Amino acid sequence: MFGTRVDTDTKKIEELLSRRLENVFPSREEAVSKLSSGSRLRVYLGIDPTGPDLHLGHTIPLLFLKQLMGLGHKPVLVIGDFTARIGDPTGKETARKPLTEKEVKENMKNYLNQVYQILPKGSFDIKYNGDWLSRMSFEDVLSLASQATVQQMIAREMFQERIKNEKPIGVHEFLYPLMQGYDSVAMKIDGEVGGNDQTFNMLVGRDLEKKLLNKDKLVFATRLLVDAKSGKKMSKTEGGLITLSDSPTDMFGKTMKTVPDGMTATVFELCTEKPTDWIESKKVSDPYEFKKELAYELVRMYHGEKEARKARDEWDRVFSKGELPSEMEEIKSKGVLMQSSIMAGIVPSNSEFKRLVDQGAVKINNEIVRDWQVKDKPGDIVQIGPKKFVKIK
């Protein structure tokens, strides 16, 4: 009996350290040793509320924490209400625009409800790094800054790119990794998980915890949702976002439209809990049907089986059979479609509407619009882009 449990835990640890991870620090062997030691580890994920929604990229470390919880360890979520005001410079060619405290609070308003869709309420600890970072004196900041060197910070590839391109680097951007790193010290944490693009910041935290607390932190760097062809990741910055707050129809449609065929298996592996064997067996099927399976699974995870079936049926009706959606938003006519669309928030500006018209992406009653100043009238069915339908009232 005992041997069976040990074997089961070993298998779960192997799955934990292989399915979603790119790297483990200091080593996989050390991670296996600590995860199987019998001690309950506290492992945290930090999320800066730089936008109002969590997206598929966020679900990768969250699903890792869910696996970790299944092994008896304790997830910790740190909401970066302080660090979000500065913004992580990772991968940026220019400094991020600072956010106000009010903007940060507005962004994080629905974060926990989105996290609860993966980690059950009460199953993890919740921390806000403003609780310790906002209380630091200037002397504390100087003391923290003395723990790192300019050479260490300037070695980051993105800063090297800025120097090469003669783009400015703010001193505050050097402080961001130290602030994130101090989160580990403040919580005396056992481990941290984050995207592979966060490795530098997470290792700064590991160094700080070793220097200040003589404690060895595990670092779990997850794989990113990167398109093998373009090399770009699906993120707020790069576009192609599928968010946890998307409606079932939008989530299904975005999956079908924005996930490249070559990424379907990767998204399945990183962002769902489907067994690896099942994913491998389905990879050889028709790419379109395989992606429909992915869209269905994502909607099922966040909206339930019933909504997943409805979203799939709606997709088949509109995009496979060319029929109209069963439900459409109604917008008030302003006489000219461009103005009606802008006033209703369907398109953000005149220039964007004109661009869509020039691309043949606007239709009225299934007829392609060629005139920017085309008029509309009540009863018209308008299609803007591949999946947005509205009815004029």
Phi, psi dihedral angles at 332 (to 5 degrees): -80, 135
Environment class of 4 (CB within 10 Å of its CB; exposed 0-12, middle 13-18, buried 19+)? exposed
Length of the chain: 393
Give the Cα separation of 228 and 150 in Å (integer).
34
Q: pLDDT tens for residues 104-123? A: 888 888 899 999 999 999 99
Average pLDDT over residues 244-268: 91
- CB 103, CB 56: distance < 8 Å: no
pLDDT for the residue numbered 323 = 65
**SS3 state at 64:** helix
pLDDT for the residue numbered 170 = 85
Residue 238 has pLDDT above 50, yes or no: no
- CB 178, CB 147: distance < 8 Å: yes
pLDDT for the residue numbered 160 = 87
Which residue from 187, 180, 193 is spatially nearest to 31, judged by alpha carbons? 193
Most confident by average pLDDT, 240-244, 291-295, 333-337, 353-357? 291-295
Look at 1-10, 53-62, 245-254 and tell me which has the smallest mean pLDDT.
1-10
Which amino acid belongs to residue 384?
Answer: I
Give the Cα separation of 212 and 39 in Å (integer).
22
195, 199, 204, 210: CA torsion to nearest 10: 90
Environment class of 245 (CB within 10 Å of its CB; exposed 0-12, middle 13-18, buried 19+)? middle
Give the Cα separation of 205 and 58 in Å (integer).
20
Q: pLDDT tens for residues 286-328? A: 899 999 999 999 999 999 999 999 999 988 887 766 666 766 7
Domains and CATH numbers, the chain: 2-222 (3.40.50.620), 248-320 (no CATH), 329-392 (3.10.290.10)
If you ran DSSP here, which 8-state letter would residue 223 be given? -
Mean pLDDT score of the chain: 87
Q: Is the pTM of this model over 0.85?
A: no
Query: What angle do the packed helices 264-271 and 287-303 form, to 10 degrees?
Result: 20
Q: pLDDT tens for residues 139-172? A: 999 999 999 999 988 888 888 888 888 888 888 8
